[in-house]
């Protein structure tokens, strides 16, 4: 069983390093990020509007992200659902916003594996760092996550690929506990295939 789990984890990690070039290219005329960044006050205001209230959990997550990563040059507001029984799946949709103006519908999906059981639905505010072109976002982002959802709560983790860092801040409802590794693939089109 341990060998099977190790082989599965190795296969999943090897998938995270594969990026399909040209599979998801942003169409011509797509808004592009600028060098302008968002302040923590602006992000807290967006979070308050999106989540419906300012909570201590949101404030701590935003403060931690700004302390460790600085000011983002974009953010994604969206919703996602996920579930797992050792092997999990996550699907989400939202809108990518740029400081210089412009927005773009975005989707994400991905598998995970680990000691992870249950399901949850979340609202997600993802801070986007170091994005120079929209195409840079359209790839797979490996990540490690640990969470406990018993009805609700806030959580944050980091996803990195190249110079781009994503910091999803989630609040949700459900019954889920565990830790997993996996990746999220960001795309311009909705897909049921999580790979």
- What CATH number has the domain bearing residue 8? 2.40.128.480
Q: Is residue 138 part of a domain?
A: yes
Digit-coded pLDDT (tens) for 153-178: 678 888 999 999 999 998 877 776 77
Digit-coded pLDDT (tens) for 79-123: 998 888 888 899 999 999 998 778 999 999 999 888 777 788 889
Non-local (6+) Cβ contacts of 146 within 8 A are 178, 179, 180
Number of domains in the chain: 1
pLDDT mean across residues, the chain = 80
Q: Is residue 135 part of a domain?
A: yes
- What is the spatial distance between Cα 102 and Cα 34, in angstroms, rounded to a whole number? 10
Residues 142/159, Cβ–Cβ less than 8 Å:
yes
Digit-coded pLDDT (tens) for 90-102: 999 999 999 877 8
- 148 band by pLDDT with thresholds 50, 70 and 90: low
Q: Is residue 25 part of a domain?
A: no
Q: Is residue 99 part of a domain?
A: yes
Tell me the residue range of the domain where 44 lies: 2-19+31-187
CA angle 105, 47, 194 (to 5 degrees): 40
Q: Is residue 192 part of a domain?
A: no
């Amino acid at each position: 069983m341990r060998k099977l789990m190790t082989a599965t984890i190795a296969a999943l990690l090897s998938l995270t390093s594969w990026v399909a070039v040209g599979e998801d290219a942003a169409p011509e005329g797509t808004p592009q990020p600028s060098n302008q960044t968002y302040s923590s006050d602006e992000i807290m205001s967006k979070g308050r509007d999106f989540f419906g209230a300012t909570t201590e959990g949101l404030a701590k997550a935003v403060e931690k992200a700004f302390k460790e990563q600085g000011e983002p040059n974009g953010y994604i507001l969206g919703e996602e659902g996920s579930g797992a029984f050792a092997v999990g799946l996550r699907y989400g949709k939202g809108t990518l916003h740029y400081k210089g103006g412009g927005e773009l519908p975005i989707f994400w999906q991905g598998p995970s594996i680990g000691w992870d059981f249950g399901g949850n639905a979340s609202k997600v505010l993802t801070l986007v760092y170091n994005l120079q072109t929209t195409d840079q976002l359209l790839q797979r982002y490996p990540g490690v996550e640990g969470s406990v959802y018993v009805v609700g709560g806030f959580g944050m983790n980091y996803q990195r690929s190249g110079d781009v860092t994503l910091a999803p801040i989630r609040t949700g409802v459900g019954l889920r506990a565990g830790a997993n590794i996996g990746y999220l693939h960001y795309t311009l089109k909705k897909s049921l295939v999580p790979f």
